[in-house]
Structure 1
Amino acid sequence: MAYWGSNVMLKNGILKAGLIGANIQNSRLPAALKIMCDEAGLDLDFELIDTSLVHAFDFYSEVHNRIDSKWTGVTITHPYKLDAALFLKAIKNGEMALEVADLDASNTLVFDSTITGYNTDYSGFLGAWKKSMGDKLPGKVCVAGAGGVAAAIVPALIKLGAKKIVVWDLDVEKSSRIAGHYSGIVDVVLIHKSEAEILSADGLVNATALGMEAYPGSAFDSQFIGSQSWAFDAVYTPTNTQFLQCANAAGLNTISGFELFCNMAVRSFKAYTGIDPDFENSIEKLQELKPA
C-alpha cells in the first residue's frame, strides 16, 4: 500500500503521532486511530502529552522536538489549538490546509517537507451536523467560549447558513477576535448580558471546557434552556454532559461531542496517512469507544 508524503515512519508502515492537551488521559483518540490503523495495515505508535502533568510546558519547543524525532504529526486539543495556528505562521515551512486556510486554529499538524495544519474539528462538525440535522439551517446561534473549538465551529456554522451567531468568553479579546474575523454575522456579548440572546436563539453551542470530567458544570443555566430547537456540546468525555442532559430534558435536538469526535478522528487519520477510509464503516466501528 502506498502512503502519502515522504514521512519516514509512514514509509515504514508506522503512524507515529501524539495528542497535546490538558487533562487528556481519557481521550479516545489513540483507540480510534488504532482501529483505523489496523484496518489499513499500519502500526500505531501514539503518545499522550498531557500538559496538566508537565511543569512550564512550552508548546513550540514540544512540537519542534516531535518534528526532529521524525513523527508523522500531532493532534492538538484544549487549550493549544490557537497556538498551533500561530506556530505555523512562525515557521518558514508552515501552512494551513487550503479548506481551512482562513481559520485561526488547528487541531492537527502533519510533519513533512511542509508542516501542514488541518482543522478536523471544522470538517468534523460539518459531518456531525449533516448526520444529525440533515439540511436544517442553524438559525441564530449562541456560542459559549471563543477558544480553539469556537474558531472551528463558528465558520462551520456560517458555512451551514447560520443567520446570526453571538459569542462570549471570559476573555473578551478572544470573542472580539472571532467577531472581527466574521463581521456582519458574528456579534460579541458579555457573559452577564447573554440571557436575552440565549432565550431568542435557535441553537446553543458549548465551546468551553465546562462539562469535562476535570471541569464539571455547564456554560448555560438550565432555566434558560427550552425555547431553542437544538444544542451541541463539544465535550465528549463524558458524552452526556450536564448541558446536554438539560437540553434533552427540554426537548431540544442534541448533537454530542462524541459525534464530532468520530468525524474528527476519521478525518485526522486521513490527514496523517493520506488513506481515505470507508467513512461510514469507520464511524460505525468507532461507536464502541463511546464514553458513558
Structure 2
Amino acid sequence: MSAERQTAPQEGRQCRTLLEVQGLTVRFGGLVAVADLDLRVEEGEIFALVGPNGAGKTTVLNCISGFVRPSSGSIRLAGQDLLALGAERRAALGIGRTFQNGQLFSSMTVLENLLVGRHSRLRAGLFQSLLPIGPARREEAAARQRAREILTWLGLESYADRLVATLPAGLQKLIGVARALAGEPRLLLLDEPAAGVPLREVAALADQLRRWKAELGLTLLLIEHNMEVVQAVAQRICVLNYGRKLAEGEPATVLREPAVLEAYLGREEEIDAREEWEVSDHAAG
C-alpha cells in the first residue's frame, strides 16, 4: 500500500492535539457509564484506554466515533466540534474504527467490505458509485484499486475475493483493520486488537501497530487488556474505573500506582505490574 498520502511524525516536532475530549459524561437511564472525562490525544501518538470490564472504555470510543451521543461534554478533532455530526460525517473527517467483534458483512467478500469502508471518501456515495455511468464508475474503479493496495500492504491480497464468513476469526479482525484503513483515517480507534491473538503472536501484533503508525502517519487510540501490548506500543495510557479516570501518564508509571493496582487486583501490594496484569487478563478471559 502506498503511504505517500501521509508522512510519519517526525522526531522532535512540536506536539499537536488531534483529539480533545472535555467533561464527557454518558448516562444510560440511572447508570453513569462515563463521568466527566477529560482526554487529549496528540497527533502521531499511540494512546491506550485501559481498565476493568465495564469501566466505560468502549462507550468512550462509541462517543468519539458517533455511535453514542454523550449526555454532556465536548469532543473535538483537530479543533472541530464533532457533537453535531453523525458517524458517517466523522468518518469522512478522518476517524476510523474497528470493533472487538469485527462487525463485518459476512455474506460479502473481503474486497466488498473494504469498499464499504471506503464509501466515506466517495463523492458519489457508495450506491451511486456502483452505477455504470461516467465519473461515478471511474471513482468506483479507483476505490477498488485503493482497497486492493491496502490488502496487499497488509498481506491479505490473496483473500480479496473470499467471503468473509469462510475466514477464521483472527483473520477477520485484521480485515476489520483493513476496512477502517480504507477510509484513510487520521485517527484510528481500535477496540481490543489483541483479543483472541495467541500469546506467541502478541509481539508481532505490537510490531504491526507501530508499523501502521509510522508508515501511514496514523494516530492510534486503542482499548486493550493485554498489558504486554500496551507497554510495548503506548506512549501514554488512561486508566478508567466505573467510568472515571483513575490515572493517566506513561505506562511504566501508571501501572504501578496504588489506585490502579487496587482497581484491578483488589489490593495495594507493590508488585511487578506487567506480570500481574497478564495473570489478571488470562483469569478474566
TM-score by length of 1: 0.30
- TM-score by length of structure 2 reads 0.31
